[in-house]
Amino acid sequence: MRKKSLGFTLIELLIVMVIIGMLAALVGPRLFGQLEGSKAKAAKAQIEMIGTALDAYRLDMNGYPSTEQGLVMLWDKPAQDAAGAANWRGPYLRKSIPADPWGNPYQYRAPGQKGEFDLFSFGRDGKEGGEGEDADIVSW
């Protein structure tokens, strides 16, 4: 008597592959839809984190960095001869300024049009305005 060989037949493997393919076709689009929503949430969280750092900077330096100075002032110490350099207690962020989840820099204006400063991302499309996933993510 021969022992029955252990393993799977070609038909069994094909059936399993078809089942996995059907599951991927059903679940995949839902997961990719959630990915874009999570990028917008990540951008909003980063904007809030940078906003908190800007507020800490304002307490030490008696004002927000100007648009020309930019967000780099949260990370890089001003030159010793610069006005207020002695008051700088940074860095105000643990890491350098991140790009938004789509790889674009955050936009910063001070004084802002909507408040003391405006901090925003243009969203997925990288252009001002937009709707849905292309909408701007703003600090105000």
Query: What are the domain boundaries of the chain?
Result: 37-138
- pLDDT tops 80 at residue 80: no
Tell me, what's the pLDDT at 33?
63
The average confidence (pLDDT) of the chain is: 85
Contact 84, 71 (CB under 8 A): no
pLDDT band at 5 (very low <50, low <70, confident <90, very high): low
CATH 3.40.1440.10 assigned to 37-138: no
Using a pLDDT cut of 90, give the percent of the chain over it.
29
Q: At 101, is the secondary structure helix, strand, or coil?
A: coil
pTM check: above 0.75: no
Whose tokens are 């610069």? That residue is: 82
